[in-house]
């Protein structure tokens, strides 16, 4: 990559050098001969250079997509230079596990099963967060993003608590203890066999062939543990200490696993039945020193310890570093209990100091919910390492991005346990209130993933564990495709709160961020432009789609929200117009703060886009009295199943779209939903605008967007309300209530209700109603189902989509605290 670019500039320099050395001969004949000679030589040279330049240029274009942006990285401290963040629950995709912020971390984690309930093939062994496990609840109840966490898991009639506490010390990132306690849930006491057992498997694994090693041990206790050594951790020990309970039997596994993505399979294939003597009960144990058939003996990279015990059972897993010499007390047993209590108290205080829910009069159960929501967002922060697969117009096949780390929160631990660009901007609004430096670190990691074009891939699938969860057709990221630049919202929000007291270090980070923000902005402002000045258009819609009722706009984040029925280059999207206004405003603000003269250019663009007359000319429909996309559109489309051909069997013809009336260029104003209210959502509309008044009336209308559970994404009156986009795709952004957009709406209402004028009163009224509808329903559903959901039904309020979804749905906490 970088080599190609160097090559090109070297060729240029060489060409220039030869040119200038050709003058200065004396004899005229000789000179003309020589000139002739030089002429041909030069011509040849130019041709050769020309060819080289063309090929070089093609090569250069090919490599741009995976060439890193050329400026100082934003993240300046990583790994052990941030010892307090070295260890963490950075594996959101597993029920419980700890690893370090290091590309080649030692990875630890938990699997469990109930031997009497284990099904053939290993069904019933829990490891990765899977919706199919059908757990009635799981998630962090408290987690401060750093020092401790406490999770509750309801698995059938059983309750598991998993918690951890960290302790600083030594030169290798400190130590921690994890506690796992299992019991019959109080509501099932007496209904479960008294001999019911649990098997807990604690494991450690090494990601890569490195200098590291791990091995089982039973030094010090009679329970097997794991010991090892890695470059960054030095020598360490993990010992298992049953607490106030005893173990029926234990076993271990020491083997070569084919990779992080196959740990559970490796455990299952090693499990075997054993019996102490012919009359004793059978038991299920791990395979000991185990070499799977067909693998040659390589270095052990996976060690697991299984403890099987009757309920209730509690075990402490203490990770101890050899470098930490001055330990007087082990962090186990009663000491652990006390330390945990101390952290919980501190957490409660900090939570109240940050969000003030108690002082607002919220009840205990509401605060419990809010703590869980925040804790799952910050407890869901992961550390990933790997490279995306990307493709550009100039690469014939997908190519690898560069290997890089990403520190990020995730939308859903089960369904989306990886980084998503536009989600992360929303996450940042809550995270920055809890811990600004963590949020800045997250933003830094994301912006360090920017390529030389100023593009950041939208979905980050880094590492084998992440890859194993994504269908292959979604892996490749295209550099033409955007995603809403929500980080500008985060940035603006951060400046609102912290502009006055930015420490030197934070200021310096913003300075490193600025050139990347400029490049990002420039990328949007040049690649996503629309057909007329001031207009913008999302790329990535497929005009050739046959099966979709309305070709999706994944890049906008609002996947199947109806747009123009026939994608063309002439369409204009109102939501990206508003995003660009927000981006321009935020850039101007930051530029000014950092004393950059470039701020002026952003201010000019902001003023230009914030001019409501301009927005109205492009997007206001006199007919429907609403803002709308513009494009080649007809509402007369439907999905039909093609007639089977005569005399052919087993025809399974998929439904395709039929266009009943030719489309025409127009505003897509028969549709009304989230997209149409973006000028209000992102506060682009002037506070005294009659159009704002119209929107406030429309969102309050139960036939349009109003529901008792929040604003629905698409009006009941819109042609595609709650319709399937293909026979396989159920509606997604076609009626359901989404929390991120409702957050923007409540935030906008708060804004407009502070500005004197014709709309103030109405804004204030709707603010109160909408805010409590959303909060009440999300809490109600949490207690009803055990989860926070991806979206909510506009008819019943029930959660739908995936769960737990504690990404932007966790913004409910900000709605409660009214921090906008």
**Taking the C-alpha atoms of 528, 529, 530 and 535 in order, what is their torsion angle to the nearest 10 degrees?**
120
Residue 183 C-beta: closest distance to ligand NAG, Å: 4
Which residues have C-beta within 8 Å of that of residue 611, sequence separation ≥ 6? none
Q: Is residue 62 part of the contact set for ligand NAG (CB under 6 A)?
A: no
Tell me which residues in 755-784 interact with ligand NAG (CB under 6 A). Answer: none
- Pick 626 or 773: Cβ nearer ligand NAG: 626
Give the chain's radius of gyration (CA, Å). Answer: 30
Q: Which residues pair with 290 in a beta bridge?
A: 255
112 is an interface residue for ligand NAG by CB under 6 A: no
Contact residue for ligand NAG among 269, 525, 611, 612 (CB under 6 A): 525
Maximum alpha-carbon separation in the chain = 114
- Tell me the two tokens of residue 421: 């660009």
- Which lies closer to ligand NAG via its Cβ, residue 115 or residue 312? 312
Site string for ligand NAG, 370-409 (x = CB under 6 A): ----------------------------------------
If the CB atoms of residues 20 and 597 are measured against ligand NAG, the closer one turns out to be 597
Contact 375, 435 (CB under 8 A): no
How many helical (H) and strand (E) elements, i.e. helices and strands, does the chain have? 18, 34
**Binding to ligand NAG (CB under 6 A): which residues in 604-633?**
605, 622
User: Rounded to an integer, what distance in angstroms lies between the CA atom of residue 368 and that of residue 776?
Assistant: 14
Q: Which of 385, 602, 672, 789 binds ligand NAG (CB under 6 A)?
A: 602
Task: Among 183, 207, 439, 669, indicate the residue that binds ligand NAG (CB under 6 A).
Answer: 183
Three-state DSSP state, 342? helix
- Give the one residue of 131, 136, 235, 295 binding ligand NAG; rule: CB under 6 A: 136
My answer on whether omega of the bond before 264 falls inside 30° of 0, hence cis, is: no
* 161 near ligand NAG, rule: CB under 6 A: yes
Per CB under 6 A, contacts with ligand NAG among 465-524 are: none
Phi and psi at 728, nearest 5°, equal -95, -20
- Which CB, 185 or 469, lies closer to ligand NAG? 185
Q: Which of residues 529-588 bind ligand NAG (CB under 6 A)?
A: 529
Closest Cα partner for 22 from 5, 45, 54? 45
Question: According to the binding rule CB under 6 A, does residue 785 interact with ligand NAG?
Answer: no
Residue 552 CB, nearest approach to ligand NAG (Å): 26
Number of amino acids touching ligand NAG (CB under 6 A) = 14
Q: Which stretch, 33-41, 264-272, 436-444, 597-605, contacts ligand NAG (CB under 6 A)?
A: 597-605
CB atoms within 10 A of CB 618: 21
Contact 348, 364 (CB under 8 A): no
Report the nearest approach of ligand NAG to the CB of residue 492 (Å).
16
Which CA distances in Å does 292 have to 210, 215, 299, 300, 599?
21, 17, 13, 12, 62
x/- contact string, 236-275, with ligand NAG (CB under 6 A)?
----------------------------------------
Q: Which one, 1 or 592, has the nearer CB to ligand NAG?
A: 592
Q: Which value, to the nearest 10 degrees, does the dihedral of the CA atoms of residues 549, 550, 552, 553 take? A: -170
Does position 134 interact with ligand NAG (CB under 6 A)? The reply is yes
559 is catalytic: yes
Residue 130 as a binder of ligand NAG (CB under 6 A): the answer is no
**Alpha-carbon dihedral of residues 351, 353, 358, 364, nearest 10 degrees?**
20
Instruction: For the CB of residue 136, give the shortest distance to ligand NAG in the complex, in Å.
Output: 5
CA–CA gap between residue 478 and residue 474 (Å, rounded): 11
Coil, strand or helix: which one is 21? coil
Query: Binding to ligand NAG by residue 181, rule CB under 6 A?
Result: yes
Give the ranges where 721-810 is alpha helix by DSSP (H): 739-752, 760-785
Could you please report the per-residue DSSP string of 272-329?
A: EEE-SSTTSPPEEE--EEE--TT-------EEEEEEEEESSEEEEEEEEETT-----S
Active-site option among 155, 183, 423, 790: 790
Set 559, 635, 686, 818: catalytic member: 559
Interface map 271-310 toward ligand NAG (x if CB under 6 A):
----------------------------------------
The question of whether 183 is a catalytic residue gets the answer no
The residues that touch ligand NAG, with contacts defined as CB under 6 A, are: 134, 136, 152, 159, 161, 181, 183, 312, 525, 529, 601-602, 605, 622
Active site residues per annotation:
559, 790
């Amino acid at each position: 990559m970088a080599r190609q670019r160097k090559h090109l500039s070297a060729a240029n320099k060489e060409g220039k050098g030869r040119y200038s050395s050709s003058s200065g001969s004396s004899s005229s004949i000789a000179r003309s001969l020589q000139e002739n000679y030089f002429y041909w030589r030069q011509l040849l040279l130019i041709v050769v250079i020309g060819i080289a330049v063309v090929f070089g240029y093609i090569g250069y274009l090919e490599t741009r997509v995976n060439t890193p942006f050329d400026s100082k990285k934003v993240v300046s401290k990583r790994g052990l230079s941030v010892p307090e963040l070295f260890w963490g629950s950075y594996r959101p995709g597993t029920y419980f596990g700890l690893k370090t912020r290091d590309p080649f971390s030692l990875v630890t984690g938990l699997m469990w099963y109930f031997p009497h309930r284990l099904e053939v093939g290993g069904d019933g062994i829990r490891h990765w967060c899977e919706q199919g496990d059908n757990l009635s609840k799981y998630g962090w109840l408290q987690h401060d993003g750093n020092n401790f966490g406490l999770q509750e898991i309801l698995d059938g009639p059983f309750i598991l608590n998993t918690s951890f506490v960290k302790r600083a010390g030594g030169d290798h990132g400190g130590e921690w203890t994890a506690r796992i306690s299992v019991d019959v849930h109080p509501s099932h006491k007496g209904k479960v066999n008294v001999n019911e057992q649990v098997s807990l498997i604690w494991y450690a694994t090494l990601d890569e062939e490195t200098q590291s090693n791990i091995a089982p041990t039973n030094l010090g206790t009679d329970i097997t543990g794991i010991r090892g050594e890695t470059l960054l951790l030095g020598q360490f020990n993990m010992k298992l200490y049953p607490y106030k309970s005893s173990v029926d039997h234990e076993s271990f596994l020491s083997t070569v696993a084919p990779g992080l993505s196959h740990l559970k399979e490796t455990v299952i294939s090693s499990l075997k039945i054993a019996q102490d003597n012919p009359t004793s009960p059978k038991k299920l144990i791990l395979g000991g020193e185990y070499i799977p058939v067909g693998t040659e003996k390589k270095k052990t990279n996976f060690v697991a310890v299984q403890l099987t015990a009757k309920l209730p059972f509690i075990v402490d897993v203490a990770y101890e570093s050899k470098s930490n010499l001055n330990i007087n007390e082990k962090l186990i047993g009663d000491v652990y209990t006390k330390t945990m209590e101390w952290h919980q108290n501190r957490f409660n205080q900090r939570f109240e100091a940050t969000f003030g829910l108690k002082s607002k009069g919220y009840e205990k159960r509401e605060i419990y919910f809010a703590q869980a929501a925040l804790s799952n967002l910050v407890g869901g922060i992961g550390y990933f390492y790997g490279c995306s697969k990307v493709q550009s117009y100039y690469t014939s096949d997908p190519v690898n991005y560069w290997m890089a780390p990403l520190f990020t929160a995730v939308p859903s631990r089960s369904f989306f346990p990886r980084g998503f660009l536009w989600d992360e901007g929303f996450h940042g609004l809550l995270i920055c209130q809890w811990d600004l430096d963590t949020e800045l670190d997250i933003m830094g990691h994301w912006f360090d993933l920017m390529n030389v074009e100023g593009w950041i891939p939208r979905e980050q699938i880094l590492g084998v564990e992440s890859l194993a969860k994504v269908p292959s057709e979604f892996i490749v990221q295209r550099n033409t495709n955007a995603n809403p630049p929500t980080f500008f919202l985060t940035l603006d929000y951060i400046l609102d709160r912290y502009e006055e007291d930015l420490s030197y270090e934070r200021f310096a980070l913003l300075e490193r961020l600025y050139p990347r923000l400029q490049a990002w902005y420039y990328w949007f402002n040049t690649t996503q432009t629309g057909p007329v000045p001031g207009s913008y258009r999302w790329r990535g819609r497929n005009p050739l789609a046959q099966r979709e009722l309305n070709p999706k706009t994944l890049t906008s984040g609002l996947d199947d929200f109806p747009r123009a029925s026939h994608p063309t280059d002439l369409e204009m999207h109102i939501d990206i117009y508003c995003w660009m206004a927000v981006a321009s405003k935020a850039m101007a603000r930051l530029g000014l703060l950092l004393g950059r003269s470039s701020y002026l250019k952003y201010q000019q663009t902001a003023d230009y886009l914030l001019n409501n007359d301009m927005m109205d000319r492009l997007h206001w429909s006199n007919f429907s009295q609403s803002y709308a996309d513009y494009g080649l559109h007809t509402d007369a489309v439907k999905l039909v199943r093609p007639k089977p051909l005569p005399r052919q069997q087993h025809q399974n013809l998929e439904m395709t779209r039929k266009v009943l009336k030719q489309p025409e260029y127009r505003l897509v104003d028969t549709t009304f939903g989230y997209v149409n209210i973006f000028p209000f959502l992102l506060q682009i509309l002037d506070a005294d605008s009659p159009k704002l008044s119209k929107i406030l009336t429309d969102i309050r209308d139960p036939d349009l967007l109003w529901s008792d559970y929040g604003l629905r994404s698409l009006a009941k009156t819109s042609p595609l309300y709650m319709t399937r986009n293909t026979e396989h795709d159920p509606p997604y952004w076609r009626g359901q209530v989404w929390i991120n957009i409702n957050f923007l709406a409540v935030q906008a209402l708060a804004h407009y209700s502070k500005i004197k004028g014709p709309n103030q009163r109405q804004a204030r009224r709707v603010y109160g109603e909408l805010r409590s509808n959303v909060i009440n329903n999300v809490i109600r559903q949490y207690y009803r189902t055990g989860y926070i959901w991806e979206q909510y039904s506009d008819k019943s309020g029930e959660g739908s989509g995936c769960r737990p979804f504690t990404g932007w749905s966790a913004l409910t906490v900000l709605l409660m605290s009214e921090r906008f």
